[in-house]
């Protein structure tokens, strides 16, 4: 700890340098934030250029950094935010130094793994603990397999059966009966370590007595997972807490290693993770700690089953700097979104986009439309009306190159839950029944075997080669073998080599797997329901050759049957079929536009050319019950719903639209009165005919 450290100073020459490097100008509050070298928080409105500003600051500091063994730590909550930062720093050669020692740029999870949890596991007093993977879904899958395969965990199976039988007696349309398999899955969600004592929280299942057989079996199951090297993401934070409890001096060592810390997307950080960050990097103990975010966009702040947490070092602090000016949209959208913002913080629209040039209206208030529809016009009509508006308002180049979206709070169908007439539209699919929720995910991965085969066919068609298809099929085969009781394969790197190594001492098995992979990869047509029985029989034959004694009993049939069954909605479609999250609209003049459907959560952080917000139902109608907010009036609204509406309203650069049932405005004079109030603040009202 002998290296002398002094914090670099940012002056006007540094700012001029980065402005030239990025081709930008930093003025006003942006320049103030760029120069600031005191610890504090920054509240940045949507489109304020927060990420660019942070990249500029990091580039200046990296350029002037002299310490060889002490570095800058940059943490973000999501991998998307981390990737955006990494791309930004790579634009400036001097900033690219941040991607190597002694600096760290990554997610909060990655930092805790690298600097706390894994060092603790390697130095465990009873011997190093190996880590095969850190993955919630795979960890639960291994736990489920153990419960159903090993009779030592029969108390858990009996508990699940009893709880399932109890749910059948209490089942209602809104709370359907649960199966024993579903109860086991819920129990597996409770296997995460909690706190420095590495305990389990089983209170949700009324399991509080350590002498109960089910309680003891759950503890034994958790120990089995640890011996196998299978861990949840939250386990790593528990190990981190354990390390700090056993070595109280450790946070000071971390701060010495990283005297400068920047945290991005702080509003989304969960209480458990925020508490760990505050323990490692308290504001007053760091040479420099700056946190960036927007509390009005905190749509991922639910506790997700975590124990009640007392806010520690809450974001933002009372002296937070503000970036209220948006480069994304103009003054009209800024005013409407400010009226919805939970903080009531006033934004300024500073975008000089070409909406005014298109319509000759600098305020850009002409096209922003509220579509009102009746129950009979709910399906597809609002999307048609939105598409027609886009074709009228934008030129051909913009229609081809722009990003046009229709988003709602609830995008997935409610499943078995009752859907009453006054709760419709319930989800995005009620506006278009061909919408496939998983299709809009950037990283949607196969869930069943048919998805793997569809994706493999797409890879072969796309590349013209068999290699990419066989890789996808090998991943599907690993998924199937693990479900059948094979030891967990761990990492998915080079799956074909993993399969060959797994069957190295069983030539007949490798021959069967090789034939299956080849047959599936060379199919002339994409998988379909008619051909699926033949594929399933071949797959079951392969599994039979893997299991020398066949299936592991009848309780194994349910999960394997589900994996082998042809799904009603596959997430991967053959390339000749249109994507199930894109709605195509063609007008009478031959102009067309693609509208991307999805959830509000899925578009956070994105910029769209135009956005249609679809009213959906979650306990209440998200927009319909609170439409007064659109007119700048007050309306009691739950904080999570308010934040979601704010996030949705701040996505578009040019055009903001809303679709909701006309009945929410009332009848007769009351409805006309609200229409006038909405028009007074700049909304255009369009009633959709039945």
Domain assignment present for residue 442? The answer is no
Q: 669 among the known binding-site residues?
A: no
pLDDT digits (tens, 9 = 90+) for 198-212: 999 999 899 988 899
The answer to whether residue 575 sits within a structural domain is no
Same-domain check for residues 144 and 212: yes
Name residue 230's beta-bridge partners: 133
Distance CA 11, CA 13 (A): 5
Do residues 611 and 532 both lie within one domain?
Answer: no
637 lies in a domain? yes
Specify whether 318 is located in the same domain as 364. no
Please answer whether residues 569 and 440 qualify as being in contact, where contact means their C-beta atoms are separated by less than 8 angstroms: no
For 366-414, how does the pLDDT look when each residue is reduced to its tens digit (9 = 90+)? 589 999 999 888 889 999 999 999 999 999 999 999 999 999 998 776 5
In terms of domains, do 96 and 153 share one? no
Six-digit token pair at 628?
Answer: 């007064």
* Dihedral angle computed from the Cα positions of residues 208, 214, 218 and 221, in that order, rounded to the nearest 10 degrees: 160
Query: Is 222 inside any structural domain?
Result: yes
- pLDDT for 437 equals 67
List, in order, residues 6 or more apart from 108 with CB less than 8 Å away.
Answer: 75, 76, 77, 269, 273, 276, 277
Is there a domain that residue 576 lies in?
no
Taking phi first (over 0 means left), then psi (-120 to 50 degrees means alpha), and beta for anything else, what does residue 286 get?
beta
3 state SS for 435-450: CCHHHHCCCCCCCCHH
pLDDT in tens, 598-619: 999 888 889 999 999 999 988 7
Q: For helices 154-169 and 136-149, what crossing angle results, to 10°?
A: 100
- Tabulate helix, strand, coil % of the chain (nearest 5): 50, 10, 40
Which position has the token pair 């009691």? 636
Same structural domain, 599 and 660:
yes
What confidence score (pLDDT) does residue 2 get?
55
Helix (H, G, I), strand (E, B), or coil: what is residue 186? Answer: helix
Helices (H) and strands (E) in the chain, counts: 25, 19
Residue 56 lies in a domain: yes
Give the residue from 205, 231, 257 where a domain finishes: 231
pLDDT digits (tens, 9 = 90+) for 631-664: 888 888 888 889 999 999 999 999 999 999 898 8
Q: What is the mean pLDDT of residues 466-484?
A: 86
Residues 391 and 287 in one domain: no
664 contact partners, CB below 8 Å, separation of at least 6: 615, 621, 623, 624, 625, 627
Is the pLDDT higher at 426 or at 293?
293
**302, 323, 344: which is the final residue of a domain?**
323
654-663 burial, b at 16+ Cβ within 10 Å, e below that, comes to bbbbbbbbbe
Chosen domain end from 231, 252, 278: 231
Q: pLDDT tens, 64-123?
A: 999 999 999 999 988 888 888 888 888 898 888 999 999 999 999 999 999 999 999 998
Average pLDDT over residues 508-513: 87
Instruction: With beta carbons less than 8 A apart as the criterion, state whether 673 and 667 touch.
Output: no
Q: Residue 317 belongs to what domain range?
A: 12-114+239-323
On whether the CB atoms of residues 431 and 380 are closer than 8 A, the answer is yes
- The verdict on residue 6 lying in a domain is no
pLDDT of residue 318: 87
Q: What is the residue-averaged pLDDT of the chain?
A: 85
| Statement to judge: residues 91 and 147 lie in one domain | no
Domain count, the chain: 4
In this structure, what token pair is assigned to residue 135? 């993955």
Same domain (yes/no): 277, 313: yes
Q: What is the pLDDT of residue 43?
A: 95
- 48 carries a ligand binding annotation: yes
Share of the chain above pLDDT 90, in %: 47
Q: What is d(CA 427, CA 411) in angstroms, rounded to the nearest whole number?
A: 5
227 and 243 in a single domain? The answer is no
Is residue 44 part of an annotated ligand binding site?
A: yes
CATH number at residue 84: 3.40.50.300
Q: Average the pLDDT over each of 223-232, 451-460, 648-657 and give the range with the smallest value.
A: 451-460
- C-alpha distances in angstroms, 404 versus 45, 384, 597? 21, 13, 9
The model's pLDDT over 566-586, given as tens digits with 9 standing for 90+, comes to 886 655 554 445 566 889 999
CA distances from 411 to 414, 420, 432, 433, 597 (A): 9, 17, 11, 11, 8
- Are 281 and 339 in a shared domain? no
β-strand 592-599 against 582-586: which pairing, if any? Answer: antiparallel
SS (H, E, C) 481-502: HHHCCCCCCCCCCCHHHHHHHH
7 domain-assigned? no
Shared domain for 501 and 542, answered yes or no, is: yes
Q: CA 91, CA 22: separation in Å to the nearest integer? A: 8
pLDDT digits (tens, 9 = 90+) for 248-273: 999 999 999 999 999 999 998 888 88
Looking at 323-327, 425-429, 648-652, which range is the least confident one? 425-429
SS (H, E, C) 200-250: CCCHHHCCCCCCCHHHHHHHHHHHHHHHHCEECHHHHHHHHHHHHHHCCCH
Pairing of strands 404-408, 325-326: unpaired
For residue 356, say whether it is annotated as part of any ligand binding site: no
Question: Would you state the structure tokens that stand for residue 317, as one six-digit string?
Answer: 């602090």
Both 549 and 455 in one domain: the answer is yes
């Amino acid at each position: 700890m002998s290296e002398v450290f002094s914090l670099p100073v940012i002056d006007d020459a540094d700012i001029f340098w980065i402005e030239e490097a990025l081709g930008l100008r930093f003025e006003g509050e942006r320049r103030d934030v760029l120069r600031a070298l005191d610890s504090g928080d920054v509240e940045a409105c949507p489109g304020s250029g927060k990420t660019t500003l942070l990249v500029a600051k990091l580039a200046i500091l990296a350029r002037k950094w002299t310490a060889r063994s002490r570095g800058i730590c940059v943490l973000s909550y999501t991998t998307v935010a981390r990737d955006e930062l990494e791309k930004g720093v790579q634009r400036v050669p001097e900033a690219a130094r941040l991607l190597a020692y002694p600096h760290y740029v990554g997610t909060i999870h990655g930092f805790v793994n690298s600097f706390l949890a894994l060092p603790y596991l390697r130095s465990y007093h009873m011997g190093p603990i190996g880590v095969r993977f850190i993955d919630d879904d795979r960890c639960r899958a291994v736990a489920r397999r153990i419960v159903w395969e090993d009779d030592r965990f029969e108390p858990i199976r009996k508990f699940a059966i009893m709880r399932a039988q109890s749910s059948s007696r209490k089942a209602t349309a809104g709370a359907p009966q649960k199966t024993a398999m579903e109860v086991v899955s819920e129990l597996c969600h409770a296997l995460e370590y909690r706190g420095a004592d590495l305990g389990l929280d089983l209170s949700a299942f009324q399991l509080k007595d350590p002498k109960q057989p089910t309680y003891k079996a759950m503890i034994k199951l958790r120990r089995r997972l640890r011996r196998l090297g299978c861990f949840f993401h939250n386990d790593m934070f528990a190990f981190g807490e354990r390390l700090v409890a056993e070595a109280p001096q450790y946070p000071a060592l971390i701060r010495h290693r990283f005297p400068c810390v920047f945290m991005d997307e702080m509003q989304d950080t969960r209480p458990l993770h925020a508490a760990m960050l505050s323990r490692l990097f308290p504001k007053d103990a760091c040479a420099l700690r700056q946190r960036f975010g927007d509390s009005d966009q905190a749509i991922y702040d639910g506790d997700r089953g975590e124990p009640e947490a007392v806010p520690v070092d809450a974001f933002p602090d009372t002296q937070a700097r503000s970036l209220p000016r948006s480069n994304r949209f103009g003054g009209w959208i800024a005013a409407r979104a400010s009226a919805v913002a939970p903080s009531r913080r006033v934004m300024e629209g500073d975008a000089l986009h070409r909406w005014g040039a298109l319509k000759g209206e600098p305020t850009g208030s002409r096209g922003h439309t509220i579509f009102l529809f009746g129950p009979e016009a709910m399906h597809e009509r609002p999307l048609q009306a939105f598409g027609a508006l886009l074709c009228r308002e934008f030129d051909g180049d913009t229609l081809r190159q722009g990003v046009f979206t229709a988003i709602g709070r609830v995008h997935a169908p409610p499943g078995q839950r009752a859907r009453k007439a006054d709760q419709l539209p319930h989800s995005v699919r009620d506006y278009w029944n061909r919408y496939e929720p998983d299709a809009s995910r950037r990283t949607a991965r196969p869930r069943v075997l048919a998805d793997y085969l569809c994706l493999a066919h797409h890879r072969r068609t796309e590349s013209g080669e068999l290699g990419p298809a066989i890789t996808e099929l090998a991943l599907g085969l690993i998924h199937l073998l693990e479900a059948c009781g094979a030891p967990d394969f761990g990492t998915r790197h080079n799956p074909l080599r993993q399969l060959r190594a797994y069957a190295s001492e069983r030539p007949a098995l490798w021959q069967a797997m090789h034939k299956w992979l080849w047959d599936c990869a060379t199919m002339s047509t994409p998988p379909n329901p008619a051909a699926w029985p033949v594929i399933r029989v071949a797959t079951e034959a392969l599994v039979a050759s893997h299991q020398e004694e066949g299936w592991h009993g009848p309780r194994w049939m349910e999960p394997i049957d589900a994996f082998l069954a042809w799904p009603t909605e596959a997430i991967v479609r053959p390339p000749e079929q249109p994507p199930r999250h894109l709605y195509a609209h063609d007008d009478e003049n031959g102009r067309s536009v693609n509208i991307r459907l999805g959830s509000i959560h899925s578009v956070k952080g994105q910029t769209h050319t135009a956005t249609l917000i679809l009213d959906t139902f979650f306990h209440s109608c998200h927009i319909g019950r609170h439409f007064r907010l659109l007119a700048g009036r007050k309306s009691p609204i739950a904080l999570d719903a308010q934040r979601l509406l704010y996030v949705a309203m701040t996505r578009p650069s040019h055009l903001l639209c809303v679709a909701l049932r006309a009945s929410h405005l009332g009848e007769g004079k009351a409805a006309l009165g609200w229409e006038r109030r909405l028009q007074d603040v700049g909304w255009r009202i369009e009633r959709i005919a039945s």
